[in-house]
Structure 1
Amino acid sequence: MKLVVRVKLLPTPEQAAALEATLRACNEAASWAAGVAFAEKAMKPLALRKHTYQQIKTRWGLGAQAAQHAIKKACDAYATLRANLRAGHHGRPGSKRYERASGKPVAFRQRAAQPYDDRMLSWQHEDQTVSIWTTSGRMKKVAFTGQAGQLTVVAAHRRGESDLLCRDGQWFLLVTCDIAEAEPDTHPAGFVGVDLGIVNIATTSTGIRHSGRHLNRRRAADRALRAKLQKKGTKSAKRRARKHAGREARRARDINHKISKQIVAEAQRTGRGIALEDLGGIRERARLRKPQRVTLHSWSFHQLGSFIAYKARRAGVPVVHVDPAHTSQECSRCHHIARANRPSQAVFTCGSCGFAEHADHNASHNISHRGWYVWVRGAESQAPALPLIA
């Protein structure tokens, strides 16, 4: 299983300046190579290398490996663009959005991540330093830090390339690790049902509820600030908007990591699997007012589900996905389904047997039951293994 671990670098001011110059040169070279690829229709590494390799080495002073990575980076960007165009992420063919995306060369930000292989980057784990290639030469004894568990994973399981990244003046290495999955539990004692929502981000059938009220207030404040800065449109407003860009996404990712870790730990401790709703296409199916649509569409349910899935694979906990239809309207005791069973967001009262419980807990019990039925039928499903940042 592939896992991406983020390690923080602690460069001195002189080292940071060298890393900054290196990122700028690599991304300028990659942008130029992408322009050549667009003009020459040479979007494969071998074909593009013939047009750009020597010029990149001479013009930007990149080494052989760095030049190869700049060329591959440009080709990979076009491959991603083609996949997004085929998937319709840039609108329909012929639309303005589609033409705007496909009608110009790819360009890279000055601080876009740069891949490093073992020829350009070496690790000294005992000293917690790295030796890294820069345009000023090989730079040694660059200190790094991180959580003890993450550094242990990096030392034992690092494989392939690492990406150098600068974010808000801080330097990171995104390290790819190859970790063996635990032996899956083929005889779970049951399933922990997980109901995902807006007011409560995740509610489990074991009685744990992760409230989202405080987070939703923070997200609303972020959206209001973003709208205010966009409306103002001055240079200082744009500068402030760039400073705050990505804050909401990083906060959501951190919370999703914490929630998924607790859910998987609970399932592993009790010898159970995890049952999740299959929420594919929820944005198209949901019929909500405009303010509610903003909240629904901006929360990363898929990310939380994928975090649960990959952490579960590491722990050997089975994961199944169930049909989400009517889980909030079905009684977990007598299984009577009616819209009237849900008089409000937080309350569930069965009109048939009179059973009453918090609505999200009732839904999580239904998901747990359906998870067991799916497992018994042998139709268990597993989310795809995605490279994720730990």
Structure 2
Amino acid sequence: MTRSSPAVLDVAIAGAGPTGLALALALRRALGRSLRIALFDPALARPAGQDARASMIAADGRRLLQDVGAWPDNAAPVAGLRITDSRLDDAIRPTFLELGDRALDGEPFAHMVADSELRAALRRRAEEEGVELVAAAIDRHEATPGGLTLSFGLDERRCRLLVAADGARSPTRAREGIAAHQFAYDQIALVATLGHEAPHGGVAVQHFLPGGPFAMLPLSGNRCSLVWSERRAEAERVIAADDSAFLAEVERRAGPDFGALTLDGPRGAFPLRFLLARSFVGRRVALAGDAAHVVHPLAGQGFNVALRDVAALSRIVAAAARGGEDFGAAATLALYERARRLEVASVAAATDGLYRLFAHGATRGLRDVGMGLIDRAPSLKRRIVATAAGL
């Protein structure tokens, strides 16, 4: 059996989703084309399909994507966030908390970007930058002196560092023997892109309903991204409904502000879960994005936390490479673990705590008082906006 033996890779990335692509581009920008980078993902062989999801990207993530040349042209700035807390059939939904659109330095704290458009922009830029794209999954990796041997199909490559950006069920994390604390929520997220009659004004709306948070997030034009977290039994009923019945359920929850709604693309659904890896590093292996952490989408922080992984790992790898150090060594990867562990654990705990706070109707009065107090504290609101922006 003949095995190919091309040049040794500096960095191999398992997974060519937005996290893996963004990391490859950040490393390319920091260290130039002399760095040998390859992404491995069987999905690279398939044409990109439509995706019902969109991401709210904070200001620090936008800066990173602009720096690497992969910022989509039609990203929609978020001009504000309005939060309500009500029962499904309440005639009036008072706004308990409203956040403005400006962070401390005067820029929008977030933009909304359709995931399919973001992925296309990242892949296009990766191809322009000469990042090697391998349409295969890494089946096995083994530590050898000074590096790793990767096996994919009948081929092998060697690398100095392997990054797992291959999702919540990361095969790389499993092979490396890194355990994760994880559990399933009794909720399914329903997602879709919706057209609507009335303009959204760039304002994101999140209704905390008994079944879970229901968010209408502004996209370009008279469109929004629906992210509706619902109890599993009710969600499965809605998933089985036809499009007209689905839209009727959405309109019931959205209220009259948007006018008539239409579907502007496919619907999607995915079960919600919590995951936090026990370690973000292994033997010449680093975890990034969903391979390291998965949080509830109610605060829109999942991809933002992944982009902060990208920023930290690319910075640490670049500093080690410039200093002539082994960027895959345990001492270097320990810097990444320390840089990310506390923030990720804090975000995971905060989002899980918010989910549990709003999941119990008995706490409604207390949480509404709390949101009202925040709404009347401008300095605290500015701090919340700056934190959400990553600034």
Q: Structure 2 length normalisation: TM-score?
A: 0.24
Report the structure, 1 or 2, having the larger strand content. 2
Q: Relative to total residues, which structure has the larger helix share, 1 or 2?
A: 1
- The structure with the largest alpha-carbon Rg is 1
TM-score with structure 1 length normalisation? 0.24
- Higher RCO (C-alpha 8 Å, min separation 6): 2
